[in-house]
Chains A and B, each alone.
Chain A
Amino acid sequence: MPTAALAATALPDWRSADPTSPVVAALLADTGYVAPIGVDRDEPSDRQTLYDFCLMPYAAQPNPLRRAQSVVALQHSFSQMNVGVQGRALIERLTAVLGPQCTVWGVKNRPDSDELWWEFYFYRRDHVPPQLSLDLVRPAFAPMVIDAQPPADLAWTFFSLEVTAAQLRCERPLHVRLYQEGVDLSWSVRGRQLELENHYRHFEVDGQTPQLLAALATSVHAPRHPRTLARLIPPQLHQAWRIWLARKRKGDTIYFQRVHVAQVAWLLRRHRWPPLFRLWFEAAAPFLQHVQFDLGVDFARSDTSIDGEPPIAFGKTGVYATF
């Protein structure tokens, strides 16, 4: 029955395509995907504006399937670390305090480690309650201990709290960072002590490539090698809105702002995230096509060069979105 041949052909696996290929969108347009357990929270049907990891708004991308909220990935990461109940409660408390779409979350991992941990970021933005402060969110993290007591007169534009599974079980105090947009600095806060941590700079992919290359060329953590740039900015992630370079003491970080869910799946594979989380994320990906995620990749010099590769050691990687 020749005319049926086209329809009868099974679709290939979208994960085997380059994440930026239109092939991915064509395959993900198939409506036969089944959502994995945990994809249990959908975007309101009239929500067309989403927010990136700078809590800046963007237009939701098309998704022919039902649109899951990106927070389902965060929830699944909690479950994977056996703190699903505590994590879900934290999400609900933060949403109750700040309202929807006001919290940036990041889930993090180191290569070949099964451990996931998290960081939550709180920005002063138009749609965020103007009384935002560390004290405002402190109760949402209770009974976790936040020992940071930054000076009240300190100028900041956002802050973050880093949370591990152990901390969710209340075993250690949370790590707090303050950030200053404009001067592009971040500070670690322990008690009343502030310590300079990182310097951030962003580059528009459309228009500031020479500046980005110049900045990377001056990274003390990036070895000179013909393929260094291709390893730090792999072609699979070049298609982003902005690329950030964070200069840090022991290694730098590249961030890719606003990438497709297929690019996230690619990064999880490339940087060897825990297989269970990776496979769950790939199964959920069709339902997250409308989200633009953000990615971070730590790198530093390595002592060894294997198979002629540039001597780069990749450290922690992170996936970011909002709820």
Chain B
Amino acid sequence: MPLSSTATSAQRPVVPPPAWSGGAVQWAAHEAPRLAHSENLLITFGFHCNLACTFCLVEDGLDRLEGITPATFRSWLQWPELFRGVTRIILSGGEATLEPELFDYIAIARQVPGVQHIRIQTNGTRLHDRAYLDSLIAAGVNEFFVSVHGWDEASTAKITQRNGAFRAIVKGLEAVSASSAALLTNTCICTDNYEHLIDIVQLLAPLRPDQMSFWTLHLRVDRPDTRLAMARVGDVQPHLLRAFDLCDAQKLPALVKWFPRCLLQHHHPKHDDSQPTTLVEPTFWPTVPRYSCIYRTACAWGKQGCNGLQHPYIEAFGWEESVLQPVALASLAPAKGDQDLQLDGQELRRWQLTLQALGIEDLAAQVGWQLTAAVRSGAALRQHLRKLPQDWDVYLEFSAPHSGPAFVRTASFAISHGRASVAAEAALAEFLTTLRTTVAARDSGGLRLPWHGHD
């Protein structure tokens, strides 16, 4: 249901433009807007926190960003198609449990058709209050994604810059573990904790989390890394692998983000760089780091979702070209780089005259084919044809005369054709037979590909 078809301007919700998703969600002028490109949609609000993690992703936005208000979120409910494909809504921002209107967000999320999971991203410090936890669950939250960056009181105090945080987090974890909701944990890998990842697994294993996530520090705020929070991937690797070994031994599902998959050895299935569609104010996005890998196009993982290293990391430590272990592709044949290029108006007019001279359109029409697009592909021109009602598509390829393989040669062109589907073969053969027997006679020479030479 396109927004413009039924809504008056007064009724229309304010849909965030692509800049709110960092460009992840775009729609063309003729498409209905949408909010997410994946099944997970992260709504941000409440940019306040009771901890002060040294690597906080939104440190610069705390007490500044407003996020999405309940009224805006609610207005989207008028248009369920905005949420098409979304099955999980994640509530985050700062510390979500500090947000007075949190229950409004939960209630609205519950009304979104198709949503099965409501997740809160939290530091867990307020979840030890069983009544509060129960009220969140009763309201509809069924997943708690709790940050656990330290392995004891001292390490947690150093990272969160709050004494007593460790005890509060553990109590919250224990409460969620004892509840009906799913417990998921998140550990940011940084210089302060990478040597103790296995200690964090040992801490959490008795609570039986439904999933343990390890996210490599995503350096959005402190650039370049003046706090020296980024750890070298070669240094992290052995500790991460041992932590994963323990997860496997304890039968704890685990994953890692933003860490090169090629360094995970047999744990590579635990790699997952995917992210939910995140809606946050546009000022958040420009400093979000990009990821690249020097082997991106030379490694099988690079073509299968491994993002590689964040740019601030590459600037600080280099591409790590001697540390990474790219996985060989089945074929390393370089792409030819040929694109299908549209003809401009003058070229199109020239080509139409050429087709008329060769009588191709009439020949095609006699056996039920229509000429459709003509595009430049490398040094050749591809004239596409379609047969209706079957909607079969084939193409003829016209090249300047050459000595290579060709279906038919005329005075001006070498003509070949693309492969047809099995169903279309007989119909195409009929057309090609007609073409072969007539087209050469119609070409007395002097015809050119439309981009050759000038009028």
Q: A residues touching B (Cβ–Cβ < 8 Å)?
A: 2-7, 9, 11-14, 16-18, 20-27, 29-30, 44, 46-49, 57-59, 99, 126-127, 129-130, 204-210, 213, 226-230, 233-236, 238-239, 241-242
Contact = CB atoms under 8 A, between A and B. Distances in A.
A7 B453 CA distance: 51
A23 B344 contact: no
Contacts of B276: none
A146 B294 CA distance: 43
Contacts of B23: 21-27
Contacts of B344: 44, 46-49
A20 B14 contact: no
B337 A235 contact: no
Contacts of A229: 294, 318-319, 321
A205 B297 contact: yes
Given A12-B286, A23-B19, A230-B315, A238 B334 contact: no
Contact of B317 (A21, A25, A205, A226): A226
A24 to B, nearest CB: 7
Contact of A241 (B69, B311, B337, B340): B337
A130 B448 CA distance: 14
Contact of A57 (B18, B21, B376): B376
B14 A4 contact: yes
B72 A2 contact: yes
Contacts, number: 171
Contact of A207 (B14, B283, B297, B318): B297
Contacts of A23: 19, 22-23, 285-286, 288
Given A3-B75, A204-B335, A230-B314, A21 B319 contact: no
B290 A213 contact: no
Contacts of A206: 297, 334-335
A207 B334 contact: yes
A116 to B, nearest CB: 28
Interface in B312-341: 314-315, 317-319, 321, 332-335, 337, 339-341
25 contacts: A3-B72, A3-B75, A5-B14, A6-B20, A11-B19, A27-B282, A29-B18, A46-B344, A49-B342, A49-B343, A49-B376, A59-B341, A129-B453, A129-B454, A205-B297, A207-B334, A226-B317, A227-B317, A228-B318, A229-B318, A230-B318, A233-B294, A233-B319, A238-B296, A241-B337
Given A29-B17, A227-B318, 13 more contacts: A5-B69, A12-B286, A21-B285, A21-B286, A23-B286, A26-B21, A29-B18, A207-B332, A207-B334, A226-B317, A228-B318, A229-B318, A238-B296
Contacts of A21: 22-23, 285-286, 288, 290
Interface string B426-455: 000000000000000000000001011110
A26 B14 contact: no
A3 B290 contact: no
B294 A238 contact: yes
B14 A6 contact: yes
Given A3-B71, A99-B454, A126-B449, A207 B24 contact: no
